[in-house]
Structure 1
Amino acid sequence: MFRRRSTLAAGLCVPLLAATAAGMQEWKSGIVWKEPAVVTPGETAADPPSDAIVLFAGTDLSAFRGGEKWEVKHGVATAGGGTITTKQKFGDVQVHLEFRTPAEVEGSGQGRGNSGLYLMNRYEVQIMDSFENSTTYDSQAGSLYKQTPPLVNACRPPGAWQTYDVLFEAPRFDENGTIVRPARATVFHNGVAVQVRRPLRGATARLQGRRGQYLPHPLKEPFNLQWHGDKVSFRNIWVRDLELDRGETYPDA
């Protein structure tokens, strides 16, 4: 009896569900979307996609200013004095770069393989050798320097190549120069999420005892790779402009 009722119930259930589905209308959001552009991905996650702006492909630093003392050899750019700054300006942006701290370890703490990615020349994602190297948590590799430690320490050993993939949302100011939306950063260190849409509390504070603050600036600015006295090497640097403010209006729920 149990099997017979089960079979009968199954037989009645299918037409009932079909009839219910047939009477339903597809829900639509009501938003008129712009057709997404077609982008061809790179062969690997490190390779630039078809819409990327390649800033360093291993031959020269012509996309940057200030690289006169840097050495470019065997497809690698190594810091040798002076911070390099992009000639092009960026706002909301995806940044990919690969870096290598010196294989020979000298010093400790902030004295090991120290550099930094300064988005809009103001907001720093720390670059350094944090492999078995104790330092303040909010200034180790993958941190938003002096603001937010990384979720985890994903650093590889000294001398090994490492990757940063950064999604940066530029801050927005009103007509009076008041901050209305803070900058946010998502950071993948060697493929590991270490920052997820973390808000920045202002520009990176460079002076001891001073907290960073927001001062109005243009929507697009260059970014730089910091010279901090260590011969940190870089390769495969590319970016993508992100169209985050697309002007869509969401209907009332």
Structure 2
Amino acid sequence: MKQSILLIGLFWLFSIGIHAQDGYEYLKLEDMAGFEPQAGNWQVVGDVVVDPRVDPHATHEPQPKKKKKRGKQEEAPEPIRVTSGTGVLINLPTEEQKDNLLTSWQHGDLILELEVMMPPGSNSGIFLQGRYEIQLFDSYGVRLPQFSDIGGIYRNWEQDIQKSYMGKAPLLNAAKAPGLWQSLKIDFKAPRFDEAGNKIANARIQEVVLNGMVIHKNVELPTYTGGQISKQEAPMGPLLIQGDHGAVAFRNIRYKKMKEGQAKLGPLQYEVRRGRFESEKQFFEEGEVVASGETNTLTYEVADEPQHFGVSFTGKLTVPDDALHTFRLHLGCVGVLKINGEVVAEGYNYAEGSVALSAGAHDFQLIYSHFQAWRGKRLGVQVATANSYWQDLHAFSSFPPGGSATAPILVEPGSEPRLVRAFARHPDVDGLLTHAVGVGTPEGVHFLYDQTAGSPVSMWRGGFVDATPMWHDRGNATFNPQGLVQYLSAAPSIAIKGQAKSEVITKGYQLDPATGLPTFNLEVGGVAVQDQLKPEDGSALAREIIFPEGVLAEVQAATASQIEALGAGLYAVGDKQYFISVPAGMQSEVRSLGPDQQALVITAPAQKISYLLIW
């Protein structure tokens, strides 16, 4: 029934002309539409390649990629190469052309999502309403980020203490290496003003997420930051992207303009029934009514019962707009929500469902049952649309906000490496990796090694692991990495030449007495192999595989839909998600595994194959 309601709702939405169910508007970047005119440093291109080894600020203006002639010596790497086309917005400033970029549209509350690429040493920023800057900077490898690092909320330079703002550093450094695409999401609430134009609430950064890591949460902005278009705060303003500090590229830009939820619930008629009800049918057929009345507040507290009770609410829900409305139920046991007589959400502990509603009043019915004495009593109902924030329909005391009742069990390496054996999840694997070892290092560069495949399967920087899922209560033998995770291929990566398939058998690992890091012992195709990984330069991960003398082997260092050779042994993997650097003396090539899959294969004439993972 719920599925049919949703399908009917989607048909209804499209029939009334709503262009995007998710509420987002997209900048297609086919041209500069959506932006104000500028000097020409901003342009739309088809692709951009940034060499992380070359600082563009130490060279001349970036030039388009040139084709290499056969037999001609390879030219020195260019810092930035662009390909004509559409889909990527890039800023290539010069002394004569270095304008900031302003949108031709304005916003108040806004959720903004995009991908950004920073060249080495580059600097830019996104100014919400043209007044509040989220910093963009090449912060790769920074251990203690400041407000001036990527994701930081920038300061201003006012001397008046009433107008001064000293900025806000990100909670952690979630930066990727220069030349890689980085995801950024900003949830911004504009300042509020009364009818006379007086500010009654400050602007607020509700959340900033960089590369999947939350770096700001609920930060109030008492005033503008530096570099603003105006020192007069306002309800609306354009986005501004800084263009005078350095090169920067963007793609997949989308945004949605938000507003506060304005649904109204009540008055409500309620009935309290005593008993242990696990279904709506039991509630009405077996329950004894012990209390009833009218309330303007949705709360389980109308039932003055210690346990084993149910309560039903009926009334009207009034919504201001034609839209698809999504409801969340937070339940201490079970509940079911009906709108206009149809089930929208039902479940145990938590439930969610959507229904298309027209502006106006609708029949509302909610049944909540607390039938397990050990479960805490709670009842929360929230509603949102694609362009309105989640709105609580319940009383604060009925479902007060709060985090987990369990303190996290965090494991850090300290002054020596730390190993945690566990089951592990991987996005390319159904089920769990059952012979995984997490290796944490004092440098803050960590990795997960799958002994069954004989390969590293993920790597991350930051904190090591949250072992709460493993060690709290009965546990499930898994942990969660506490940093910027980059997943690698989960397939076996080492092969012996001449063998159709080299079976991998783990032989455990041994710890290096000097470093405390493990060397993984494998038998690959009947050949003894040693696999070692260690931090490099405080941010990267070096891998070295050692074979017996006379054995010819190869390592499939990466598999992805796209692998680009950037020259001098550097490869960009997975549409520029991470780099692999192959040192001189190693032979490397990109092989096709099919229409949509490529592999980077490394071989060596000696007993050792090594390469560097950079993300």
Could you say what secondary structure the match of 1:59 adopts? coil
Residue 132 of structure 2: aligned partner: 123
Q: Give the whole-Å Cα distance in 1 for the aligned partners of 2:263 and 2:22.
A: 25
Aligned counterpart in structure 2 of residue 180 of structure 1, from 182, 200, 216: 200
User: What CA deviation, in whole Å up to 9, does each residue of 1:181-232 have, x standing for no partner?
Assistant: 111111001111101121112111349xxxxx97342x22111111133111
Aligned counterpart in structure 2 of residue 101 of structure 1, from 100, 118, 129: 118
Residue 247 of structure 2: aligned partner: 231
Q: Closer, same or farther in 2 for the Cα pair 1:83/1:216, shift >3 Å?
A: closer
Residue 243 of structure 1: aligned partner: 259
Q: CA deviation at 1:246?
A: 2.4
**For residue 43 of structure 2, what is the amino acid of its counterpart?**
E
Which one has a larger percent helix, Structure 1 or Structure 2? 1
Could you say what secondary structure the match of 1:87 adopts? strand
Kindly report structure 1 stretches of 4+ aligned residues shifted beyond 4 Å. Answer: 133-136, 247-253
Given that residues 145 and 172 in structure 2 are in contact (C-alpha distance below 8 angstroms), is that contact kept between their aligned partners in structure 1? Answer: no
Q: CA deviation at 1:82?
A: 1.2
Given that residues 79 and 233 in structure 1 are in contact (C-alpha distance below 8 angstroms), is that contact kept between their aligned partners in structure 2? Answer: yes
Q: CA deviation at 1:136?
A: 6.8
Q: CA deviation at 1:65?
A: 1.1
Which one has a larger percent strand, Structure 1 or Structure 2? 2
Q: Give the whole-Å Cα distance in 2 for the aligned partners of 1:215 and 1:176.
A: 15
**For residue 89 of structure 2, what is the amino acid of its counterpart?**
A
Q: CA deviation at 1:58?
A: 3.6
Residue 170 of structure 2: aligned partner: 150
Q: CA deviation at 1:52?
A: 1.2
Q: Give the whole-Å Cα distance in 2 for the aligned partners of 1:69 and 1:96.
A: 23
Residue 197 of structure 1: aligned partner: 218
Given that residues 201 and 214 in structure 1 are in contact (C-alpha distance below 8 angstroms), is that contact kept between their aligned partners in structure 2? Answer: no
User: What CA deviation, in whole Å up to 9, does each residue of 1:102-132 have, x standing for no partner?
Assistant: 1xx3xxxxxx221111000101111111112
Given that residues 177 and 216 in structure 1 are in contact (C-alpha distance below 8 angstroms), is that contact kept between their aligned partners in structure 2? Answer: no
**Is the aligned partner of 1:63 residue 2:34?**
yes
Residue 164 of structure 1: aligned partner: 184
Q: Give the whole-Å Cα distance in 1 for the aligned partners of 2:260 and 2:112.
A: 15
Aligned counterpart in structure 2 of residue 52 of structure 1, from 8, 24, 32: 24
Q: Give the whole-Å Cα distance in 1 for the aligned partners of 2:109 and 2:125.
A: 18
> 5+ unaligned residues in a row in structure 2: which ranges?
1-8, 11-19, 47-86, 93-97, 156-166, 267-295, 298-394, 396-615
User: What CA deviation, in whole Å up to 9, does each residue of 1:35-61 have, x standing for no partner?
Assistant: xx96xxxxxxxxx96421112x24222
Q: Give the whole-Å Cα distance in 1 for the aligned partners of 2:41 and 2:114.
A: 20
User: What CA deviation, in whole Å up to 9, does each residue of 1:130-178 have, x standing for no partner?
Assistant: 1125897111111111211111100000101001101000001223443
Given that residues 164 and 190 in structure 1 are in contact (C-alpha distance below 8 angstroms), is that contact kept between their aligned partners in structure 2? Answer: yes
Given that residues 193 and 200 in structure 2 are in contact (C-alpha distance below 8 angstroms), is that contact kept between their aligned partners in structure 1? Answer: yes
Q: Give the whole-Å Cα distance in 2 for the aligned partners of 1:122 and 1:249.
A: 37
Residue 7 of structure 1: aligned partner: none
Larger relative contact order (Cα-Cα within 8 Å, sequence gap ≥ 6): 1
Q: Give the whole-Å Cα distance in 1 for the aligned partners of 2:233 and 2:122.
A: 32
Residue 109 of structure 2: aligned partner: 92
Q: Give the whole-Å Cα distance in 2 for the aligned partners of 1:77 and 1:202.
A: 30
Q: CA RMSD in A?
A: 2.8
Residue 588 of structure 2: aligned partner: none
Q: Give the whole-Å Cα distance in 2 for the aligned partners of 1:134 and 1:226.
A: 25
Given that residues 169 and 184 in structure 1 are in contact (C-alpha distance below 8 angstroms), is that contact kept between their aligned partners in structure 2? Answer: yes
> 5+ unaligned residues in a row in structure 1: which ranges?
1-36, 39-47, 106-111, 208-212
Given that residues 131 and 231 in structure 2 are in contact (C-alpha distance below 8 angstroms), is that contact kept between their aligned partners in structure 1? Answer: no
Q: Closer, same or farther in 2 for the Cα pair 1:249/1:170, shift >3 Å?
A: farther
Larger mean Cα displacement after TM superposition, 167-176 or 92-101: 167-176
